[in-house]
C-alpha cells in the first residue's frame, strides 16, 4: 500500500475536495499560502508531477518552511482560511482516518515518530481522533520535510476504493482493545508488502543483480553484520516480504534448510573435481576445511575476481596469449587432457597449490582462491556429469561481485545450483 508522503497526502485531499471546481492546483496552492509569505503560484503541470510522486516542492518553499513556519503560531489559522474552505466539510474525519491508516501502514515510521506537528501526536497515539482539521494541517508540515520525487508507486494506489478500504480498516483499529493493537499493526503492515518490496529494489538498484546472494546470506548467517548492507536488510525482512522481493525481480526461491545443507555440498564438490582430475586427492580437503571460514575474513576492499595469471595451452586460436582466467584455465585443461594434441597443462588445483603457495600464504588469500576455484569450475562439473538443474537461478556474473563476501556467497549459490537444484 501507499506511504505517508506529499503525493499521497495531496491525493487524499483531492478526493475529498469541496466541489468539482476545486482541484489539486487550488488545494496545493492553498497549502503553500499557509506556510509561505507571498509564494509564487505553482502551475498545473508541476502540481500534477508533485501529486503523482515525480517531483518535489520547489526548494525555496522548503527553505522558507525550515526557516520560519514549523514554529509559526499563525500557521493553523492560515491553513483554515486557505485549505479547509477547499475540503468537503462532511469528509474531514474521513480524510483524517485515511491519513492515519497510511501512517500506520508505513513500516518506515516508528511508533514514537511525531506525525501531527500541531498537536505533536505520535504514531502510537492514533487511537485518539481529536480535531480532524488540526490533524490534517499538522500532517502537511510532516510530509513537507521528506523528499517526494520517488513516490510514484505509492501515489498511484490512492483512489476512492483505497480510501474506503482505509476507513474501514481504521474503524476496525478503533474497535480493537489495547492488547490487539500489535495484531492490527502486523495486519496492515502485511498489506504494505508490495510497496515495501518495490522500495527495497529501488534502494539497491545498483546491486540488485546480487539479489540471489541475499538468500544465501540469510541461510548461512542471518544475524551476521554483512559488508553489503543489502544482505542485512534482506535478512531482517519478514518471510512474506522476502518472497515479494524475489517475486518483484523474478528470482526463484532457494530451498536449502540451513548452512549445513550448503556446506555439505563442499564434499560432493571435492569428490567431483577429483574424479575430473582437476585436483589430486591430497589437495581437496582444503574446501571443507577453509571455505566455511570465509565470513571470518570479510574485507571492505574490492577483490579482483578475474585475475589473469594462469597458463594457457599453445594452440592456433591463441598464439600470442600467455595467460588466462582461472575459468578458462579449467576449461582448457578439460579440453586438452583427453586429446592427443601435443598440449599438456598442469592439474589446475595442484598448480595453484604450488604457484600461489597455499601451504604458507595468508588465510584470506587462500580462502579467496578456493572460492574462486568453485565459481570457475561448477559449470564444467554440470556439463561433465550431465547434471541438469530444475530451474534457472539467475546466477550473478562474477564481474558483479565486489568483495570476498560476495564471492563466498556466489560460490555457495553455484554449489546449490549444481547439486541441490537438480
List the single range of 158-162, 164-168, 293-297, 317-321 with lowest mean pLDDT. Answer: 317-321
pLDDT at 118: 84
Identify the residue whose cell numbers are 504494505: 192
pLDDT tens-digit profile of 110-141? 777 888 888 888 888 777 767 889 899 889 88
List the single range of 19-33, 69-83, 180-194 with lowest mean pLDDT. Answer: 180-194
Give the C-alpha separation, 56 to 341, whole Å: 68
Element (H, E) at 360: none
pLDDT for 2 beyond 80: no
Give the C-alpha separation, 313 to 333, whole Å: 8
Q: Which whole number is the average pLDDT over 363-380?
A: 94
Give the C-alpha separation, 106 to 4, whole Å: 7
Residue 114 pairs in a beta bridge with: 122
Bigger pLDDT: 72 or 311?
311
pLDDT for 73 beyond 80: no
pLDDT at 317: 58
Looking at the chain, the whole-number percentage of residues with pLDDT higher than 70 is 90
CB 312 within 8 A of CB 329: yes
Q: Which whole number is the average pLDDT over 312-318?
A: 65
Residue 122 pairs in a beta bridge with: 114
pLDDT at 381: 95
pLDDT tens-digit profile of 178-213? 444 444 444 444 457 888 888 888 888 889 999 999
Which residue pairs from 164-173 have beta carbons closer than 8 angstroms and sit at least 24 positions apart in sequence?
166/97, 166/98, 166/101, 166/102, 167/94, 167/97, 167/98, 167/101, 169/101, 170/97, 170/98, 170/100, 170/101, 170/104, 171/97, 173/101, 173/104, 173/126, 173/127
pLDDT tens-digit profile of 87-103? 999 999 999 999 998 88
Q: Which residues contact 36 (CB under 8 A, 6 or more apart)?
A: 61, 64, 65, 69
Give the C-alpha separation, 102 to 169, whole Å: 10
Q: What is the DSSP string of 129-144?
A: ---HHHHHHHHHHHHT
Q: Which whole number is the average pLDDT over 275-284?
A: 95
Q: Which of 6, 198, 195 lies closest to 99, judged by CA?
A: 6
pLDDT at 185: 46
pLDDT for 174 beyond 50: yes
Q: Which residues contact 185 (CB under 8 A, 6 or more apart)?
A: 104
- Helices within 3-51 (DSSP H only): 6-15, 24-35, 44-51
pLDDT tens-digit profile of 211-252? 999 999 999 988 888 989 899 889 988 888 899 999 999 999
Q: Which of 102, 92, 115, 135 lies closest to 4, judged by CA?
A: 102
Q: Give the chain's mean pLDDT.
A: 84
pLDDT at 1: 40
Residue 323 backbone dihedrals phi, psi, to 5 degrees: -135, 170
Confidence of residue 401 (pLDDT cuts 50, 70, 90): very high
pLDDT for 159 beyond 80: yes
Q: Is the pTM of this model over 0.75?
A: no
**Where are the domains positioned within the chain?**
6-191, 196-248, 259-420
Query: Of the spans 149-163, 233-247, 362-376, which averages the highest pLDDT?
Result: 362-376
Identify the residue whose cell numbers are 538498484: 205
Query: Of the spans 44-48, 163-167, 178-182, 352-356, which averages the highest pLDDT?
Result: 352-356
Element (H, E) at 1: none
pLDDT for 176 beyond 70: no
Amino acid at each position: 500500500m501507499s506511504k505517508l508522503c506529499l503525493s499521497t497526502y495531496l491525493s487524499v485531499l483531492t478526493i475529498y475536495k469541496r466541489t468539482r471546481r476545486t482541484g489539486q492546483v487550488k488545494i496545493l496552492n492553498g497549502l503553500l499560502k499557509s506556510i509561505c509569505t507571498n509564494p509564487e503560484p505553482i502551475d498545473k503541470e508541476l502540481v500534477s508531477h508533485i501529486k503523482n510522486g515525480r517531483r518535489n516542492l520547489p526548494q525555496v518553499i522548503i527553505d522558507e518552511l525550515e526557516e520560519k513556519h514549523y514554529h509559526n503560531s499563525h500557521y493553523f489559522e492560515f491553513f483554515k482560511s486557505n485549505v479547509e474552505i477547499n475540503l468537503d466539510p462532511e469528509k474531514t474525519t474521513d480524510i483524517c482516518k485515511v491519513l492515519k491508516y497510511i501512517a500506520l501502514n508505513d513500516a518506515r515510521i516508528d511508533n514514537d515518530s511525531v506525525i501531527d506537528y500541531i498537536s505533536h501526536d505520535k504514531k502510537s497515539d492514533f487511537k485518539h481522533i481529536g480535531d480532524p482539521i488540526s490533524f490534517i494541517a499538522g500532517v502537511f508540515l510532516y510530509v513537507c520535510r521528506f523528499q517526494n520525487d520517488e513516490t510514484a508507486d505509492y501515489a498511484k494506489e490512492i483512489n476512492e476504493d483505497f480510501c474506503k478500504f482505509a476507513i474501514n480498516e481504521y474503524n476496525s483499529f478503533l474497535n480493537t482493545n489495547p492488547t490487539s493493537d500489535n495484531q492490527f499493526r502486523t495486519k496492515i503492515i502485511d498489506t504494505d508488502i508490495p510497496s515495501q518490496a518495490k522500495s527495497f529494489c529501488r534502494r539497491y538498484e545498483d546491486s540488485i543483480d546480487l539479489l540471489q546472494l541475499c538468500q544465501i546470506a540469510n541461510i548461512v548467517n542471518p544475524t551476521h553484520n554483512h559488508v553489503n548492507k543489502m544482505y542485512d536488510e534482506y535478512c531482517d525482512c519478514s518471510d512474506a516480504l522476502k518472497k515479494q522481493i524475489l517475486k518483484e525481480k523474478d528470482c526463484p526461491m532457494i530451498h536449502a534448510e540451513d548452512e549445513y545443507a550448503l556446506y555439505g555440498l563442499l564434499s560432493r564438490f571435492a569428490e567431483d573435481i577429483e574424479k575430473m582430475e582437476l585436483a589430486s586427492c591430497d589437495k581437496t580437503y582444503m574446501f571443507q576445511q577453509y571455505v566455511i571460514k570465509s565470513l571470518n575474513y570479510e574485507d571492505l576492499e574490492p577483490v579482483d575476481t578475474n585475475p589473469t595469471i594462469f597458463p594457457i595451452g599453445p594452440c592456433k586460436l591463441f598464439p600470442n596469449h600467455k595467460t588466462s582466467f582461472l575459468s578458462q584455465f579449467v576449461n582448457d585443461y578439460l579440453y586438452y587432457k583427453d586429446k592427443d594434441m601435443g598440449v599438456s597443462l598442469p592439474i589446475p588445483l595442484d598448480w595453484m597449490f604450488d604457484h600461489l603457495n597455499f601451504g604458507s600464504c595468508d588465510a584470506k588469500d587462500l580462502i579467496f582462491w578456493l572460492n574462486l576455484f568453485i565459481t570457475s569450475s561448477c559449470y564444467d562439473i554440470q556439463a561433465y556429469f550431465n547434471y541438469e538443474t530444475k530451474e534457472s537461478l539467475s546466477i550473478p556474473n562474477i564481474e558483479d561481485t565486489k568483495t570476498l563476501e560476495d564471492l563466498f556467497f556466489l560460490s555457495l549459490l553455484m554449489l546449490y545450483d549444481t547439486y541441490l537444484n537438480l
